[in-house]
Chain A
Amino acid sequence: MSVQDRPAAEVLSLRGVRKAYGPVLAVDDLDLTVEAGALVALLGPSGCGKTTTLRMVAGFETPDTGSIRIGEREVAALPPHRRNLGMVFQNYSLFPHRTVAENIGFGLRMAGVARAERDRRVEEMLDLIRLPGRGDMYPSQLSGGQQQRVALGRSLIVNPKVLLLDEPLGALDKALRESMQFEVRAMQQRLGITTLLVTHDQEEALSMADRVAVMNRGRILQIGSPNDIYDRPQSRFVAEFLGTSNIFEGRVSPDGTALLVPGGNGDVAVPLEAPAAAGQPLLLSVRPERMRLGANRGEGANFEGRITGAVFRGNYAAYQLDVPALGRELFVYRQADGPLGTVSFGLGEVLTLGWTPRDAVPVSAE
């Protein structure tokens, strides 16, 4: 059952892919591998090159240099219709002049599948996407979520080698988006289809992907499991793009094994995973939910702070504190664990906040 037992077949791999538009480098020397049956999310702000990457895999853009392989086949020079892919667009892109059944059966018709066989498989797909009996309707008669399921069914019916999802849930409202995240993920896992997801929504990436690749300025900064990416960011950009982070400046210790960060009462040493050059400046990231906040001092760093903002967010409260010792503000999240109907702290309260080395992660300034 374990993943290691199977040979990790690469279904999609990009090697040294570059794409420039005039003087603008959209994708810079990018390497990416998606293993068979896995869902990898490309996550980044708009303009980071994630969409260009997806469009190069799809065949709508041609890389300047580099190789794109699907299975054993080099596809960089192949037109889109010969790559055996499925793709779901943000705005669904259903053919408005064709019925739901015709939309879903389009790929089969292009492949020359006979009418009877096609009808049978379309019916099966309608059941799979939980829209039985809706085949004769037109896309405009369906809700957003239903249209998205049709788009998914239309892509999956051709048994694509790789499924490409381009911000697939971006047009849905929040509640529907969350349920569709589960639904798409469940179907992807059931069918074991290799999938590349492009999104700027960190929550979508974290909740749907096996691995998340965070992109910025045409490069992948870090790739790993959602857990890993969130808890062990390697750079300031990753730490701040996925959720919120408190960033502290520090220096590598003389022996190169720890990062020394001013902790309010002398430096606090945070062990480094790999030795670094002594004296080199590095940053430290501490998540707001990992910060300590209360009346008493604790292990590690301690600062005095005054609450300048308190926001109730349902299951937790977010506080902003002005810290005179640092000359800036820090963020702390507290689980709502007081009596019902209360927030633990109020505006103007002066408290002690701090962090311990085991909750802190050294990050590069990138």
Chain B
Amino acid sequence: MQMQAPIAAKARRPWLLIVPALLFLIVFFVLPLVDNGLRSVAGDAGEWTGARYVTLLTDSFYLRVTFETVLLSAGVTLICVIIGYPVAYFLVRKAGRWAGVVVFLLIAPLLTSIIMRTFGWQVLFARRGLVNNLLVDQLGVISSPLRLTNSPEIAVAALVHVLVPFMVLAIATVLQSVDRRLEESAKILGAGRWRAFWEVTLPLSMDGIGTGAILVFMIANGSFVTLVLLGGGIQTLPLLIYQQFNTTRDFGMASAMSTILLVIAVFCLFLQLRLVRRQGA
């Protein structure tokens, strides 16, 4: 009986390893979140109020901003799937010994800070930027510079540029585990190249598309820097939250909007969990 105590203590020890991380998370993540949540429902006289949420969910301005935020993220996600899938397919099935180089090229941009990458787009498309310089001065195709920055298209392009590697890696990971002999089986059984892809490869890589899409959607939904620098005219929740804090100084409203963003993110995570669970079954 005496031997059992130390063994039990030993078995408990692994839990100790996560205590520092747990404390860190509680102090710097959970508590601020709780504080944020409380702030969003705190009235001026210290009473509870749901008025801010009522405004957010009924006022046409806020609904339009939320809708635009989700629409922008969905658009970016869709473009990432369309651009990312072929790259992932090439990476896994065709790149062969060049796969390492392709992965490096994919990841390399992530090593630069997002602000630098966004300024890169500025340099390209500014009023006196590379593109306008080329068109006006070098080629003389047009007489006056085009207004290229501060347009939604450039903001979307910059977001896709930042997020497409996540999509490629998510799809490639799943595609890697799809046995190419499954495609060959389909071909032998009479399916042409596209049919085999449509019937076998695509359905089996759906999990990768799902994971990548949720990841990209969530990051795009919370993106701020890119839109501040490039996104002329687009009004999204993160931008509005920034304004509420810095300009209007309505902390309560900003907190409520943060909660709405958080709910969307949690919903996405829930979708992803369901996806993973279905795959495991």
Taken together as a complex, chains A and B put the C-alpha atoms of A264 and B193 apart, in Å, by: 66
Is the beta-carbon distance between B195 and A80 smaller than 8 angstroms?
Answer: no
CA gap between A158 and B187 in the complex, in Å: 13
Query: Within 8 Å of chain B (Cβ to Cβ): is A307?
Result: no
A174 contacts chain B at the CB level, 8 A cutoff: no
A89-B181, A91-B181 known; A97 vs B188 contact (CB < 8 Å): no
Which of B181, B190, B200, B203 meets A81, CB within 8 Å?
Answer: B190
**Which residue on chain B has the smallest CB distance to residue A97?**
B203
Are B192 and A81 in contact (CB-based, < 8 A)? Answer: yes
CB of A288 to closest CB in B, whole Å: 39
A110 in complex: contacting residue of B181, B182, B189, CB < 8 Å: B189
The reply to whether A110 and B179 form a contact with Cβ atoms under 8 Å apart is no
Most chain B CB within a 10 A radius of its CB, from A87, A91, A93, A154: A93
* Contact residues in B for A86 (Cβ distance below 8 Å): 188-189
Output the nearest chain A residue to B179 by Cβ-Cβ distance: A93
Residues of B within 8 A of A49 (CB): none
Verify A93–B190 contact, CB threshold 8 A.
no
Range for the number of chain B residues in contact with chain A: 10 to 19
Report the minimal beta-carbon distance from B280 to chain A, rounded to whole angstroms: 12
Please count the residue pairs between chain A and chain B whose beta carbons lie under 8 angstroms apart in the complex.
66
Report B34 CB to chain A, min CB distance, Å: 42
Asked if A107 and B190 make an inter-chain contact with CB atoms under 8 angstroms apart, the answer reads yes
> Cβ of B192 and Cβ of A87 under 8 Å apart?
no
Q: A58 near B184 (CB under 8 angstroms)?
A: yes
Contact A97 B204 (CB under 8 A): yes
Interface residues of A in 83-135 (CB under 8 A from B): 83, 85-87, 89, 91, 93-97, 106-107, 110-111
Q: Give a binary string over B231-269; 1 marks a CB under 8 Å from any A CB, 0 the rest.
A: 000000000000000000000000000000000000000
Cβ-based interface call for B55 (8 A): no
Q: How far is the CA of A107 from the CA of B191 in the complex (A)?
A: 8
Q: B139 CB to closest chain A CB, in angstroms? A: 45
Q: Distance in Å from the Cβ of B176 to the closest Cβ of chain A?
A: 15
- B172-198, CB < 8 A from A: 179, 181-182, 184-193, 195-196
* Nearest 8 Cβ contacts at the A-B interface: A110-B190, A107-B189, A80-B187, A93-B185, A87-B188, A93-B181, A81-B187, A81-B190
Known: A95-B199, A107-B190, A110-B186. 17 other contacts (CB 8 A): A59-B188, A80-B184, A80-B188, A81-B187, A81-B190, A81-B191, A81-B192, A85-B188, A87-B188, A95-B182, A96-B182, A106-B186, A106-B189, A107-B189, A154-B185, A154-B189, A158-B190
Chain B residues in the interface with A (C-beta under 8 A): 179, 181-182, 184-193, 195-196, 199-200, 203-204
Q: List 13 A-B contacts (CB under 8 A).
A: A60-B184, A60-B187, A81-B195, A93-B181, A93-B185, A95-B185, A97-B203, A110-B186, A110-B189, A154-B189, A155-B188, A155-B189, A158-B189
